[in-house]
Amino acid sequence: MASSLSLCTASWLASGQGQAVHAADDIRGMDSSRGDEQVAQAVLYQYLSPISSVAEGNLATKKESKPLTYKVKRGDTLYQIGKVYGVDHRKLALLNRIKNPRLLQVGQVLKLPLKRKWVRVKEGETLESLAEKHKTSKKMLIKLNPDVAAAGSVYTGQVIAVPRPIKVKVPKVTGGPANRSKPKPQVIAQAASAKGAASFRWPVGGQITSRYGWRNGRMHNGIDIWNAQRTGSVIRSSLGGRVIKAGYSNGYGNLVVVDHGNGWVTYYAHLSRIIVSKGQAVGRGQPLGYMGQSGNATGVHLHFEVRRNGQPVDPLSVLP
């Protein structure tokens, strides 16, 4: 047995690394089972490992300069995609020139600020230790490596892809205000409008935590309102009209949309609970639901929009 191994080793050294490649191909052809194939590859690598360091330069890992991409599926949001890949959703929006993250198209291909780097698994390394070493997650490693996904583990000598962040040239945003500093919260009153019954009213009392306009390089089409009652805060219709949307809507979360006629429409987003239904007539000040954190929201608040003929307008321009 020992002499046979010596002959095999001598033959490999005489013929070069290509012989090892043929041997691996032969093993693959002997058994189509994925698990057996990986075992065979591991055994082959370990058998050759005493002398494989001689040719290690030929097996050096490499990096890719091309960024990874993602094809949008139904129900996807930038926030969810960013969470899976460990990327800030606002950076995704800037990189892909997306002005309204809520209007993603199914089939749209997004660039991710990540690239693949190929590394060789060392003895004793596991998916968990590799994830920690390369500052990523086990889920991400499995996503980048179909072979690993099929087997559920790695073996010594296996070459796998790990994610690496890349510096990307973020497109300049034009048309926004010169001063984009975060505004100070503004306390708003819950008093009735002095402009009469036909005037818009505040949908809820509290503080404005984010205004209409450019925010973090993209357009914020409404205002965000928060108060201490949080999910106990009742959200009311800003004007009388008819409910044309009452349900979940991607980044908006639980959303109510009310048509007031003459081209005026209002949006009430991120609700924790909706208490009206589509087609229902509502009066000015009638409860629609409760403040929440559904959809793409970083905290409990109401996202409130006012639109005229389909175009967003600053809610503060029509509110008392």
Determine, yes or no, domain membership for 243.
Answer: yes
Same domain, residue pair 128 and 242 = no
pLDDT tens for each residue of 7-18: 343 343 344 443
Same domain, residue pair 194 and 245 = yes
Determine, yes or no, domain membership for 170.
Answer: no
For residue 122, the domain's CATH number is 3.10.350.10
The residue ranges of DSSP E strands in 28-152, in sequence order, are 69-71, 109-111, 114-120
What crossing angle do the helices spanning 17-30 and 34-52 adopt, rounded to 10°?
160
Same domain, residue pair 289 and 193 = yes
The mean-pLDDT minimum among 75-84, 237-246, 259-268, 302-311 falls in: 75-84
253: phi > 0 → left, psi -120 to 50 → alpha, else beta; which?
left
Same domain, residue pair 160 and 196 = no
Determine, yes or no, domain membership for 102.
Answer: yes
Q: What is the pLDDT of residue 75?
A: 76
Determine, yes or no, domain membership for 106.
Answer: yes
Determine, yes or no, domain membership for 5.
Answer: no
Percent of the chain with pLDDT over 90: 26
Same domain, residue pair 119 and 218 = no
Q: Is the pLDDT of residue 284 over 50?
A: yes
Same domain, residue pair 161 and 219 = no
Q: Is the pLDDT of residue 2 over 70?
A: no
Q: Judging by beta carbons within 10 Å of its beta carbon (0-12, 13-18, 19+), is residue 175 exposed, middle or buried?
A: exposed
Same domain, residue pair 208 and 133 = no
Q: Which of 296, 291, 198, 218 is nearest to 252 (CA)?
A: 296
Q: What is the pLDDT of residue 46?
A: 46
Q: How many domains does the chain have?
A: 2
Q: Is the pLDDT of residue 57 over 50?
A: no
244 vs 318 pLDDT, higher one: 244
Percent of the chain with pLDDT over 70: 68
Same domain, residue pair 258 and 148 = no
Q: How confident is the model at residue 290 (pLDDT cuts 50, 70, 90)?
A: very high
179 vs 157 pLDDT, higher one: 157
Q: What is the pLDDT of residue 175?
A: 38
Longest dimension (CA), the chain: 102
Same domain, residue pair 202 and 297 = yes
Q: Judging by beta carbons within 10 Å of its beta carbon (0-12, 13-18, 19+), is residue 283 exposed, middle or buried?
A: exposed
Q: What is the pLDDT of residue 99?
A: 73
Same domain, residue pair 160 and 217 = no
Determine, yes or no, domain membership for 57.
Answer: no
pLDDT tens for each residue of 175-200: 334 344 444 444 443 333 333 334 89
Determine, yes or no, domain membership for 181.
Answer: no
Domain boundary among 106, 131, 165: 165
Same domain, residue pair 146 and 260 = no
Determine, yes or no, domain membership for 204.
Answer: yes
Q: What is the pLDDT of residue 41?
A: 53
Same domain, residue pair 208 and 276 = yes
Residue span of the structural domain in which 266 resides: 186-317
Spatial contact of 154 and 123, defined as CB atoms under 8 Å apart? no
